Chain A
């Protein structure tokens, strides 16, 4: 049988066994101890949106597996007038790429590419849709501190509507039996968000959501989006900023997470970001091992 090569497009369509296998593989990956699993493989990192941590994380992961990497920044303007996404993909394929990591502002762009290309496509964030590698590294990080995800009370706070991180995490956590509470003002956490997956609820009341929480995931809140929805920064902070006082409502061993980049004083205080319950930097660190697992698994060299 041919070695299985497969894309990672979203969390929603993954089976729990596939997720478990990826997380297990990630535990065996150590960025400090390179494994030449992808020697002679070419990994193209195709970024249609600015990104530091995701891009560097994938790049380090590929290099730790001895792959050759190339980063391609596509100007946002080229989307409108330039080469089509499929043509770019076919060009990279013709140049010898064995795998494409794609970050794109349009939801479903990786799905399109995967449908028409015979090499794996890894979704590094597509519009407001999903960011599967982030959810995997978040689960990996949680499992470093909690025995399992079943029954965990996870609160995701902020601009759910625009967040691909939220969507991927909701799917992953729900698949493993966690209880997910989405929290934010109605413009950011509309009621319809509860239809994403089973056992998901939406609330506007941060304090209520925090009571008894095991994990608190703070999302980035963009000032422009607040302005667009006529929400004042001060008002938002008053209702939804994670402060030390509020954190006390959660379980004493609750984890504070954030996909970054964090804006101190906006969605959380510096005190909380740097506090003992924060695992924000650990998330970043774990990202490399998790992405090593994703790349190795996609190219069928490890399972």
Chain B
């Protein structure tokens, strides 16, 4: 089924609706009509009728997942991925919206590119919300036109992998973003200290003879950014936090009344730097996999609410960019199709983190962070973006079956619990299992 098919109304019947935005966790039926949630009511209490019924018995019915951090690779790097293939993978992973990083080629620093990425001709099957560059060419020198970018559809600004190091530029970015309520996303890495480094500093890096990135520099950038964000009254969103020190810095910033939110990737809560093993380039990402102590601190922060969102940092790379010497290999892994399975396997099963909290991390909070009104909830009148999943289904992820154009994942062959069964965007099924 595609989005072009004639609009039909759907009754999602007999599922367990979990909508953290309204603190709902109950068996309910949901009626979707005209791209909206038309009705949501206890079993058999929906009054309106639907063209079609979807049997959701045994499934969780959740507000559609929103990924705050993906690399779609278009324009310019379609040998790695296209917007069509990435969003197909997103749909299979239960994501109804993805926020696209600007490190495309050319960099998305203009309203034209921002609009191009959202053009229906790109063939996206889920919503694409561009995150535009904060500076021209992400060179960290001259600010982009935030207002024009926002008008063209950008939901945040960032220079992502080329973090803004200059205090002055970061201050200017935050001051320009604040009145527009535009979040500023920062990849917190002091690139002056990490040149030539390819993994986390620690015993594994020493053993492998690889230069290590220090864990402290990430937190130092967050401390500075939080201070500047507080002064500017801006919203700072810290991308893919990876260390114990960083979550402390985030908490410190909040105590000082800065508006700071943060996200974590599934690979950072599922793996540690020891997984690099014998130079596995599918375990090379930036920020790098960290120590077991870091992972432990982040799992605690996931449980206690300190971390706001799970974002995949989906970063496809072609085979020839990964099958090279470890130090030369590209940073990053794909992650859209494994996010839910890893969250349920690693957070719910192993750490007893509830499904409502997991949905909050995957939908409710990301919608708020990116300012996506009418999404991230199944309240009546919301846009009909819905993810249906079976929390108890065991399955094996096979990289070669991925819908992404790339195969760079450390989770190939992993047995996971929790599987997406259907994904609905604007009232239309964009993915159905099997």
B is a partner of A: yes
B279 within 8 A of A: yes
Q: How far is the CA of A192 from the CA of B206 in the complex (A)?
A: 7
Asked if A112 meets B279 with Cβ closer than 8 Å, knowing A85-B325, A106-B326, A106-B328, the reply is yes
- Chain B's interface size range is 10 to 19
Q: Is the CB of B324 within 8 A of A127?
A: no
Q: Is the CB of B327 within 8 A of A84?
A: no
Which of B203, B208, B278, B324 is A85 in contact with, Cβ under 8 Å?
Answer: B324
Q: Is the CB of B203 within 8 A of A107?
A: no
B320 within 8 A of A: yes
Q: Is the CB of B323 within 8 A of A86?
A: yes
Give B319-358 interface residues, CB cut-off 8 Å to A.
320, 323-328
Q: How far is the CA of A147 from the CA of B164 in the complex (A)?
A: 60
Q: How many A-B residue pairs have CB under 8 A?
A: 63
Q: How far is the CA of A84 from the CA of B281 in the complex (A)?
A: 15
Q: Which residues of B contact A128 (CB under 8 A)?
A: 209-210
Question: Which among A111, A126, A190 has the highest number of chain B CB atoms within 10 Å?
Answer: A111
Give B161-218 interface residues, CB cut-off 8 Å to A.
202-203, 206-210
A14 within 8 A of B: no
Q: Which residues of A contact B278 (CB under 8 A)?
A: 13, 108, 111
Q: How far is the CA of A79 from the CA of B210 in the complex (A)?
A: 18
Q: Which residues of A contact B203 (CB under 8 A)?
A: 192, 195-196
Q: Is the CB of A196 within 8 A of B323?
A: no
Asked if A108 meets B202 with Cβ closer than 8 Å, knowing A84-B320, A86-B323, A116-B323, the reply is no
Task: Give the distance to chain A from B15, nearest Cβ to Cβ, in Å.
Answer: 45
Q: Is the CB of A108 within 8 A of B323?
A: no
Task: Give the distance to chain B from A184, nearest Cβ to Cβ, in Å.
Answer: 14
A104 within 8 A of B: yes
A220 within 8 A of B: no
Question: Which among A104, A107, A195 has the highest number of chain B CB atoms within 10 Å?
Answer: A107
Question: Which among B206, B210, B324 has the highest number of chain A CB atoms within 10 Å?
Answer: B206
Q: How far is the CA of A112 from the CA of B206 in the complex (A)?
A: 19
Nearest B residue (CB) for A129: B209
A130 within 8 A of B: yes
Q: Which residues of B contact A190 (CB under 8 A)?
A: 206
Q: Mark B294-332, 1 if CB is under 8 A from A, else 0.
A: 000000000000000000000000001001111110000
Q: Which residues of B contact A84 (CB under 8 A)?
A: 320, 323-324
Asked if A108 meets B208 with Cβ closer than 8 Å, knowing A85-B324, A86-B323, the reply is yes
Question: B: which residues have CB within 8 A of A?
Answer: 202-203, 206-210, 278-279, 320, 323-328
Q: Can you name 24 A-B pairs with beta carbons within 8 Å?
A: A12-B207, A79-B328, A84-B320, A85-B324, A85-B325, A106-B325, A106-B328, A107-B209, A107-B326, A108-B210, A108-B279, A109-B325, A111-B278, A111-B279, A112-B279, A112-B324, A128-B209, A128-B210, A129-B210, A167-B207, A193-B206, A195-B203, A196-B203, A196-B206
Question: Which 3 pairs across A and B sit closest by C-beta, in order of nearness?
Answer: A129-B209, A108-B279, A128-B209
